[in-house]
Amino acid sequence: MVLADLAQNWLDELTNQRCYSDCTIAAYKNDFLNFQQFLMRHFNGDPSIQTIQDLKTSDFRAWLSFRISNDMTARSNARALSAIKSFFNYLAKNNLVDLKAINSVKRPKLSSLLPKPINENVIINFLNLERFFDKDPEWITRRDRALYTLLYCTGLRINEALNIKTKDVDSEIKIHGKGKKDRIVLLLPIALKRIEQYIAICPYDLREYFLFVGIRGKKLLASKVDNQLQKLRLLHNLPDYASAHSFRHSFATHLMQKGADLRSVQELLGHESLSSTQIYTDIDDYSLLKIYETTHPLEKS
């Protein structure tokens, strides 16, 4: 079997068995192609299975150095290394490679980047806008209001929200999350009401289809949502980092600031590890520090 076929089988496994998102699959595919192109230059020819089997730690380090020389960030390199390690784990599972060389390659150090939530008042005012775009049909406005409200009320990932089927909409929804991890999400009455208002005037029959559809009645895509939010930043004074994922960050941050415990937020977000959720405690600590700095009597003296 040629290398390209093995790579496709690996990606298929991540998609069908491990339920990786479309965005992750696309990123991993690009990372593999980048790695393959490097090997072609490094060895002056198309890499074979034997090439892969003979790779040394120095070859992997040379690849990362090559990426750095092409202005790839540490975060991008860390993800690329994770992708290639995942591919090699797949090969090892099929008794095709030894993992010793690649496992000795250390992950690039990352600076701590805190998620950026949208201000509570800003996000509430945005969700209550009469119109997002003046020329949109009413059903599109209601769809977008329902979607944005759902994201903020539940902390869903955008693809989790877009994969909801209309027949499954209730006060509780079973969500199929990353890594085949299912969880139950509770809908606040306002989210459920706005979804029902959207369904009531949507020109398409959604009963046996996805809840959120585009102008032609096909499933709404995450890329479409983020492209729309890029335009809405300018129209409605949203921060320049506002995206579908920032609704999730805002959900978690605002809950923590209101006193929610870490374990509960972990369950609501669908994080497998508590360490993934702990970053929101850093945000909350930061906000408390800013309050402290602006209110302490000595700070004003």
Catalytic, 178? Answer yes
Task: Delimit the CATH 1.10.150.130 region(s) of the chain.
Answer: 3-103
pLDDT digits (tens, 9 = 90+) for 44-99: 888 888 999 999 999 999 999 988 888 788 878 888 999 999 999 999 999 999 89
Q: Does domain 120-292 have CATH number 3.20.20.30?
A: no
Q: Does domain 3-103 have CATH number 1.10.150.130?
A: yes
Catalytic, 280? Answer yes
116, 131, 178, 224: which is the annotated catalytic residue? 178
Using alpha carbons, list the distances in angstroms from residue 170 to 32, 175, 184: 41, 12, 11
Catalytic, 245? Answer yes
**Who contacts 211 (Cβ-Cβ below 8 Å, separation ≥6)?**
164, 165, 166, 169, 195, 199
Catalytic, 204? Answer no
pTM over 0.75: no
Residue of 264 and 53 predicted with greater confidence:
53
Q: Give me 256's structure tokens.
A: 């923590």
pLDDT digits (tens, 9 = 90+) for 8-45: 999 999 888 887 877 788 889 999 999 999 999 999 88
Catalytic, 219? Answer no
Task: Delimit the CATH 1.10.443.10 region(s) of the chain.
Answer: 120-292
Q: What is the pLDDT of residue 102?
A: 93
Catalytic, 248? Answer yes
pLDDT digits (tens, 9 = 90+) for 107-133: 877 655 566 788 899 999 999 999 999
79, 145, 194, 248: which is the annotated catalytic residue? 248
142, 157, 194, 254: which is the annotated catalytic residue? 157
